[in-house]
Structure 1
Amino acid sequence: MLHPLSTASRIDEQQIRALPKAEVHVHLEGTFSLIDLLTLAKENGVPLPGPAATIFDISTHDGYTAPDVTSGGGSGAGAAGLTGFLRFLDWQCGLVRTPQQAARVAYAFAARQTAAGVRYSDVIVNPTHWNAWRGRERDLLAALAAGFDEAEQDGLCRVGIAYSLLRSQSATEAEAIVTDLTTTRPHRLVALSVDGDEKVAGRTGEKFRGAFGIAARAGLHRTVHAGESSGPDGVWDALDLLQAERIDHGVRAIEDDALLARLIDDRISLGVCPRSNVTLGIYPDWASHPIRRLVDAGVLVTLNTDDPAPLGTTLDVDWAVTADRFGFDLADMIGFAQRSIDASFADVDLKRDLTAELLTVSAALR
């Protein structure tokens, strides 16, 4: 039963879970739970990188420290690094070696999303992290899609796949990948993405212009990681060179008034992940994060987790923490839910149904 909520009250996870929503910036590579890792390591006879109790506290061997989720805080700029974090993702994805294991990871993702009140997800998959599947990327996508199919049949969160290129790949390789994707149209593929450390790779918009042009001409959606570890330039490149419909992160756009105006005028949404930005050192603390300023400026902002398992969080927890830290009320959170639906690459019918359900639930919560 839904209970009325005063806007002066703290917004808790139960109320947030009640809101039908989408998550549009979450990496499958960042959703492996502890039980997933232990099971996969045991099945494959692979030793853990350390004691099971501290597997996500990997600062001693990978340059990353998990945050304290209970306080809603992060480990800060000095304790975490994006490069080391990406190495950890390589290690854990390397544990997935069979179609059955890949399908199980996909099913578990949908179940966890459902538990957080997520009804649809655009999940980012970057096959370069899954080293057992090199040369068999299409088989990986098929195995993941089978897991998502089973989850949907069981009434869990619906999922679309955003295939992500890595910034260090060549233009030739990227164009070959996208040509294959647009020709074969793997089941559940909805978008092309590109991710990786902007600071290390530098500006890569020109390099990937051809690949994203192929995707656009074939009617494949485009979403681009930009404006995270580098400044606003990457966001401009994503818009002008890669025909991005959505920006993953994009928080550094706050540093450029002309860019803010462009985002607002073109109704380009930002898939913002505050906890990730703080934990990986983009901002030193939650108070420094610009999400409130972006929303107040009129930018279309969605609230996401990025890599929830190693960050020690879930979407409902991060929504509650963000509401508390930045003073968002129930109406604001309903707005986040609606924007998540609008920004997603879900089909028109599902967007319509989720919007109608959100209106009903919101009326009961007020």
Structure 2
Amino acid sequence: MLRTAIGVSLCGFAACAAVGLDTRELAANPSVVYAPGTYPNVSTDFIRALPKIEHHMHIEGALSPELLFKLAERNNVTSLSAGNFSTPDTLWERYRNWDGLADFVAVSEQEMVVFQHERDYEDLAYSYLERSHYDGLVYAEVNFLPEGHISRGISMETVIRGLRRGLERGKTDFDIDTQLFACFSKTHNHTRTRATIDKLAPFAQAGDIIGLGAAGNEDGFPPSEFSDLYSYARSVGFQHFTIHAGETGPPSYVREAAFDLNLTRIDHAISARSEPELLRQLAEKDVFVTVCRLSNVLLGVDGQVADAPLREFLDAGVKFSLNTDDPTFLGGSILTVYLKVQEAFGFDVATWERIVSNSIDGSWTTDEHKDSLRRKLEAVMRQWDGKEL
């Protein structure tokens, strides 16, 4: 859920207490998510064992205050104190108490200045996998917002090579497979975005990035407005596409994404729940939805986790995955997301098997890799065959 030009979310606008999260504690001590008694009505053993797949995670939103200050020291960045925070602890406090949009934009823009070299991007990507391997993450399609970096004079090669090196190092250490794709901002003019696509094209052609998405404020930016950019991206070698639609926008935006842009993946698509016929059409077209449950609550799209249209999606046959969106600003790892969803919905083993299986189907990866992911899921299902949650 990217709201700004630099690629992080406004997840801090609502108190993490709304979904029972403490961002500082979760980041510093991941085991708190799994501590006995944290989820008294949830089989945490089963939820943690599930092989998790993430399709909607903005890597800039995985920057922890601890890494931020480490990079600031490395790169001699001294401007952070201007944002009225000077330590990781004070920054975590800011994350829990944003003072409106202007405050968030000011802080997040300051944060991006710490990324200056390839090693910085490598450390960011690696830190995400280091945190996520505890959760049972086995595959992630990670996106980044190039315009937030190249606008500061950082080369596209520096950003992509650094992120890929971090992801590759994470594969070696944690056995998590990943792919990388880019996401442009809807609020930028098309000339600027097309120039960004041109800079990305060689990396798409080489297979260093696998796709293109669009994020940002939906108000006044219907998906059909970007048809020329998606057509152009297809012509220069991009293979896979998605767009944020129907998070705060109307159902018509979801329809435009699926049928005007001819996309088979849509990010959020929450508003589609109000039109059963649209849900039927999405299922018929085999459109895959990336759901970001905690983000929706913390941003005020829904009042609570249980308000998500997950049962409506399941009943209509709309495939979806569960995702973190911006894990640091949400305070929610992928395991936290799964646990919160189970706490709210009480799905049985068969339903979880279906959700994870659909997540595999919707991935931008090879059939061979999907078969490998299915075998991991089948192994868990054999362990829990006949058991109740």
Output the TM-score relative to the length of structure 2.
Answer: 0.79
Distance in 2, matches of 1:61 and 1:324, equals: 26
Distance in 2, matches of 1:161 and 1:98, equals: 18
Compared CA separation, residues 189 and 60, structure 1 to 2 (3 A):
closer
CA shift, 1:10, in A, is 4.0
Compared CA separation, residues 118 and 61, structure 1 to 2 (3 A):
closer
Match of 2:215 in 1: 195
Q: Give the AA of the match of 1:22.
A: I
Mapping for residues 46-195 of structure 1, pairs under 5 Å? 46-48=79-81, 49=83, 50=85, 52-58=88-94, 62-63=98-99, 88-130=107-149, 133-134=152-153, 136-185=155-204, 187-195=207-215
Q: Give the AA of the match of 1:298.
A: G
Match of 1:307 in 2: 326
CA shift, 1:344, in A, is 1.4
CA shift, 1:60, in A, is 9.1
Match of 1:45 in 2: 78
Match of 1:208 in 2: 226
Q: Give the AA of the match of 2:89.
A: A
Matched positions, count: 339
Unaligned runs of 5+ in 1: 1-8, 65-80
Indicate conservation of the 8 Å contact 1:195/1:225, yes or no.
Answer: yes
Distance in 1, matches of 2:203 and 2:322, equals: 32
Match of 2:15 in 1: none
Is 2:260 the counterpart of 1:241? yes
Distance in 2, matches of 1:206 and 1:255, equals: 20
Is 2:65 the counterpart of 1:34? yes
CA shift, 1:271, in A, is 0.5
Pick which of 274-283 and 151-160 moved more: 151-160
Q: Deviations over 1:161-188 (max 9, x none)?
A: 1200100122223233334433443553
Match of 1:72 in 2: none
Indicate conservation of the 8 Å contact 2:242/2:265, yes or no.
Answer: yes
Mapping for residues 198-347 of structure 1, pairs under 5 Å? 198-199=218-219, 202-217=220-235, 218-347=237-366
Indicate conservation of the 8 Å contact 2:203/2:209, yes or no.
Answer: no
Pick which of 280-289 and 48-57 moved more: 48-57
Match of 1:354 in 2: 373
Distance in 2, matches of 1:299 and 1:89, equals: 35
Compared CA separation, residues 152 and 133, structure 1 to 2 (3 A):
farther
Compared CA separation, residues 188 and 341, structure 1 to 2 (3 A):
farther
Is 2:49 the counterpart of 1:23? no
SS in structure 1 at match of 2:183: strand
SS in structure 2 at match of 1:350: helix
Pick which of 46-55 and 233-242 moved more: 46-55
Output the TM-score relative to the length of structure 1.
Answer: 0.84
Indicate conservation of the 8 Å contact 1:120/1:157, yes or no.
Answer: yes
Indicate conservation of the 8 Å contact 1:175/1:210, yes or no.
Answer: no
Pick which of 172-181 and 253-262 moved more: 172-181
Q: Deviations over 1:34-62 (max 9, x none)?
A: 32123123333343532532423437984
SS in structure 1 at match of 2:160: helix
Compared CA separation, residues 344 and 63, structure 1 to 2 (3 A):
farther
Compared CA separation, residues 191 and 131, structure 1 to 2 (3 A):
closer
Q: Give the AA of the match of 2:72.
A: A
Distance in 1, matches of 2:273 and 2:162, equals: 39
Q: Give the AA of the match of 1:158.
A: D
Alpha carbon RMSD of aligned pairs, Å? 2.5
CA shift, 1:88, in A, is 4.8
Distance in 1, matches of 2:247 and 2:142, equals: 19
Compared CA separation, residues 21 and 234, structure 1 to 2 (3 A):
same
Indicate conservation of the 8 Å contact 1:251/1:291, yes or no.
Answer: no
Distance in 1, matches of 2:286 and 2:103, equals: 34
Distance in 2, matches of 1:100 and 1:270, equals: 33
Compared CA separation, residues 86 and 326, structure 1 to 2 (3 A):
farther
CA shift, 1:127, in A, is 1.9
SS in structure 2 at match of 1:56: helix
